[in-house]
């Protein structure tokens, strides 16, 4: 009986030590912590899906997220959603950060924190050719489409205080372009980098670049208020900028390297 009890005690201890060893191995394995990234993957060339070739998310912001994750030792899982819901998703803990060509406006800063600006672009008015619209003043009496929750919506609504125009919203950029082509809008306003892709493919469209509002220019990464990730990502962004990696990304996605 004593031998049996001794054997059982040794067996139990062996199992316990094995379990502890397994836990220690998991802890020491160095598996990266997963972060959930919120984005709206309808914004080529920043984030989109090339459905003809794959179901994977690609674009400038996707590459940037992967570079930052590698630099900081994180694993990133991408969650696609409507742009207008990204801030809410961040505030309610559905995502850890938002990387979606988002402009750090004063209004957004009331709800979330932002990284340093990583890219600056301009807005563009897109119309059909021969529309007679070539300046912002020409939008008087016209219907203008913008993405819901975007900086372009803010811009159009601000313009409507001095120009008699009708502002309408859609959730996705392709919807805006389609409704413009179908005659539901007289014009749409989207970012010039995104507009270039549509202008190249649709020769019946034309674009006019708008003046930049320096206080509301550029794209940054959004985080929950007081998040430690903000400082970490800023440090990594600075390294990528100094190493020339951000310039390489811009060359890849914005200067014709990608069809």
- Any idea which of 15-29, 101-115, 230-244 has the lowest mean pLDDT? 15-29
What pLDDT, on the 0 to 100 scale, is given for residue 133? 94
- CATH fold of the domain at 123-215: D-Maltodextrin-Binding Protein; domain 2 (3.40.190)
Are 187 and 126 in contact by the 8 Å Cβ rule? The answer is yes
What pLDDT, on the 0 to 100 scale, is given for residue 215? 54
DSSP letter, residue 215: G
Mean per-residue pLDDT, 110-122: 93
Q: Return the exposure string of 189-226: e unless at least 16 CB atoms fall within 10 Å of the residue's CB, then b.
A: bbbbbbbbbbbeeeeebbbbebeeeeebbbbbbbbbee
pTM above 0.85, yes or no: no
Provide CB contacts within 8 A for 106, sequence distance 6+.
Answer: 215, 216
- CATH fold of the domain at 33-120+218-254: D-Maltodextrin-Binding Protein; domain 2 (3.40.190)
Residue 94's SS3 state is coil
What pLDDT, on the 0 to 100 scale, is given for residue 122? 84
Tens digits of residue pLDDT in 30-59: 677 999 999 999 999 999 999 888 999 999
Beta bridge partners of 79: 38
> Which stretches of the chain are assigned E, i.e. beta strand?
33-39, 48-49, 57-58, 74-80, 97-102, 113-114, 123-128, 143-147, 166-170, 187-191, 205-209, 220-223
Q: Where are the domains of the chain?
A: 33-120+218-254, 123-215
Measured over the CA atoms of residue 160, residue 162, residue 163 and residue 164, the dihedral's sign is: positive
Tell me whether domains 33-120+218-254 and 123-215 share a fold.
yes
Q: Is 66's pLDDT higher than 50?
A: yes
Q: For residue 212, what pLDDT band results from cuts at 50, 70 and 90? A: low
Give 253: exposed, middle or buried? Use CB within 10 Å, 0-12, 13-18, 19+.
buried
Residue bearing the bigger pLDDT, 28 or 65: 65
Mean per-residue pLDDT, 4-11: 43
Q: For residue 197, what pLDDT band results from cuts at 50, 70 and 90? A: confident
Q: Is 238's pLDDT higher than 70?
A: yes
């Amino acid at each position: 009986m004593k031998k049996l009890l001794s054997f059982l005690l040794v067996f139990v201890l062996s199992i316990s030590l094995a379990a502890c060893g397994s836990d220690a191995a998991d802890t020491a394995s160095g598996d990266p912590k997963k972060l959930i990234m919120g984005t709206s993957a309808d914004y080529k060339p920043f984030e989109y899906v090339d459905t003809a070739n794959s179901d994977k998310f690609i674009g400038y912001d996707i590459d940037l997220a992967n570079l930052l994750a590698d630099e900081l030792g994180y694993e990133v899982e991408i969650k696609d959603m409507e742009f207008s819901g990204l801030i809410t998703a961040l505030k309610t803990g559905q995502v850890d950060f938002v990387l979606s060509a988002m402009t750090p406006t004063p209004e957004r800063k009331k709800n979330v924190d932002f990284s340093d600006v990583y890219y600056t672009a301009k807005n563009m008015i897109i119309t059909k050719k021969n529309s007679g619209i070539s300046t912002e003043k020409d939008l008087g009496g016209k219907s203008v489409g913008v993405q819901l929750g975007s900086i372009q919506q803010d811009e159009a609504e601000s313009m409507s205080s001095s120009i008699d125009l009708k502002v309408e919203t859609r959730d996705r950029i392709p919807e805006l372009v389609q409704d413009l082509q179908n005659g539901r809008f007289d014009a749409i306003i989207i970012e010039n980098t995104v507009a270039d892709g549509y202008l190249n493919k649709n020769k019946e469209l034309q674009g006019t670049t708008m003046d930049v509002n320096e206080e509301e220019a550029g794209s940054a990464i959004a985080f929950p208020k007081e998040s430690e990730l903000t400082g970490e990502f800023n440090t990594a962004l600075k390294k990528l900028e100094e190493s020339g990696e951000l310039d390489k990304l811009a060359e890849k996605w914005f200067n014709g390297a990608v069809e």
